[in-house]
Amino acid sequence: MKKKLFGIFGPILLAAVLLVLLFFSPFKINSNDPKLIKAASSSMAGNVLRGNSITKEALSTDHYVPFFGSSELSRISPFHPSVLAEKYDRGYTPFLMGAPGTQSLTQFMMMQSLGNELKDRKVVFIISPQWFVKNGIKRDYFDAYYSPEQTLTWLMNLKKVQSSDKYLAQRLTHYGVVRKDERLERMLDAVMAGNLPDQTDVTFSRLKLNMLEREDELFSTIGMISKQKAIDKNVKALPENYDPHKLNQLANRLGKQATQGNEFGIQQHFFKRRIEPHMDRFANSQRKWDYRYSPEFSDFQLALDQLAKKHAKVLFIIPPVNGRWAKFTGLSDEMLQQFSAKIKYQLTSQGFTNIADYSTQQNTPYFMQDTIHLGWKGWLAADKEIAPFLKSSNSQGENYTINNHYFLSKEWQEMNPEAIK
């Protein structure tokens, strides 16, 4: 009978013992290994973005610069920031903090979990107009990069509930991946009411956070695929010395070669695979699209609030939408320009004045690689802002005047840009 019971429960007990030994052993990935950090910096891997161990180690030095954005960062070309920085030995390496589907809410969660690693640092932040849809970030996009570790890091660090905390708690409860955790939902309800979470919930959540941090230390490299090979390949295409004239010629040549075969100036491979089979469906399909009214404006405010708290010095980049494509789909250029005016007001009125606005470059040849992503001349133009921004001295952090009362409000989300005074 004992042998039979052991045969049933023995493997379970053994697995439990091994799991305990694994989580409480001193073993962890060598997160300060320069090769590992370099690989992580271009990987845009989910485990890296949802965790803290590798990113905090990378940003503990001045060598890595956080680049917050989304899918545009995944398209490696000779003019990508990672390629240009490596080719011309600029003394910094971009750490790509984003992936297809990451938006303001996800980026804020990453920022706040980094703690003081963002203090007085330089940051590049690429704002995509496409984030600012009617209902904000889609559920599947949010779920893909949702991090219980980062959420609990925020809650465990709460000392006093502020308006930004109430807003964040309210936004998080919109998503089922959050609500399925009853204890977490209870804690968020408390924060929404202006209270700190119950101490019993905090105690259990702190234990859970310890386990999640241990998981991060052990497993954050799983699924991490560096883009270093693509970076190295594209480095070889650049002129030996930085020469604006030669680089501009190269951007024109590569853009022309890549976009032959369609009338939109879109990379032909992308056009053949993603657009041509559905041309009838795309025609005039975006006539009613509007990026001027969205909860994303307040989600974005969370990121601004966090950057301000850490006195980070930030360069914001606003890309255009491919003009010929917008005309074909009926996407309003007037609306896009009003979106740009609204987001710039939100930035400048609070002291964020380093803005590279390319929203009027929609018809510049080869500025875009496809419909919405920066291309050959787009990245080259951005580099003319990025390089001097990162090269300039940074003796002290910036001071900002944050207005969460207004910019976290429904009034701001629904504000017509033409009514801004």
Residue 26 has pLDDT above 90, yes or no: no
Whether the model pTM is above 0.75 = yes
pLDDT given for residue 17 in this prediction = 40
Nearest to 45, CA basis, from 89, 105, 110: 110
pLDDT grade for 110, boundaries at 50, 70 and 90 = very high
pLDDT given for residue 14 in this prediction = 43
Tens of pLDDT, residue by residue over 261-311, are 999 999 999 999 999 999 999 999 999 999 999 999 999 999 999 999 999
pLDDT given for residue 393 in this prediction = 75
The pLDDT of 123-147, averaged and rounded, is: 97
Residue 143 has pLDDT above 90, yes or no: yes
pLDDT given for residue 7 in this prediction = 55
Residue 21 has pLDDT above 70, yes or no: no
pLDDT given for residue 169 in this prediction = 98
pLDDT given for residue 52 in this prediction = 92
pLDDT given for residue 358 in this prediction = 98
- DSSP codes, 278-297: GHHHHTTTTTT---SS-THH
pLDDT grade for 131, boundaries at 50, 70 and 90 = very high
Alpha helices, H only, 88-138: 104-113
pLDDT given for residue 220 in this prediction = 84
Residue 316 has pLDDT above 50, yes or no: yes
The pLDDT of 108-125, averaged and rounded, is: 96
Please give the Cα distance from 33 to 153 (Å, whole number): 24
Residue 414 has pLDDT above 70, yes or no: yes
Asked if 128 and 69 count as a contact pair (C-beta separation under 8 A), the reply is yes
pLDDT grade for 1, boundaries at 50, 70 and 90 = low
pLDDT grade for 31, boundaries at 50, 70 and 90 = low
Residue 90 has pLDDT above 90, yes or no: yes
pLDDT grade for 25, boundaries at 50, 70 and 90 = very low
Residue 196 has pLDDT above 50, yes or no: yes
Per-chain mean pLDDT for the chain:
92
Q: 2 to each of 5, 11, 17, 303, how far by Cα in Å? A: 5, 14, 20, 59
296 alpha-carbon distance from chain centroid: 13
244-259 and 376-391 helices cross at what angle (nearest 10)? 150
Residue 147 has pLDDT above 80, yes or no: yes
The pLDDT of 304-331, averaged and rounded, is: 98
Q: Token pair 């429904």 is at which residue?
A: 410
Share of the chain above pLDDT 90, in %: 88
pLDDT grade for 8, boundaries at 50, 70 and 90 = low
pLDDT grade for 118, boundaries at 50, 70 and 90 = very high
